Amino acid sequence: MTMNPDDALTSEEYASLAEIAKGLLATDVPHEHTEKLSRLGLITKRHGEYILTDEGQRQLARGR
């Protein structure tokens, strides 16, 4: 997936992605972050919890 410049993650959004990767409950992550991360295909909801998609794992491995 190619992200346009408007979709670039802020440092706070990247931190939220990292927290979700650790299994942090999404209630501790700002709603705006989960909305954007989901829209970008970086996270998905499974069994009521957010998890990283393959693309989300690649983004986390690449860094901001």
Cα distance between residue 42 and residue 47, in whole Å: 17
Does 46 map to a domain?
yes
Per-residue pLDDT of 17-46, as tens digits, reads: 999 998 866 568 999 999 999 999 999 999
Q: Which two tokens stand for residue 61?
A: 């491995």
Does 49 map to a domain?
yes
How many domains does the chain fold into? Answer: 1
Give CA 37 to chain center in angstroms.
Answer: 4
pLDDT score recorded for residue 24: 61
Does 1 map to a domain?
no
pLDDT score recorded for residue 52: 96
CATH number, domain containing residue 35: 1.10.10.10
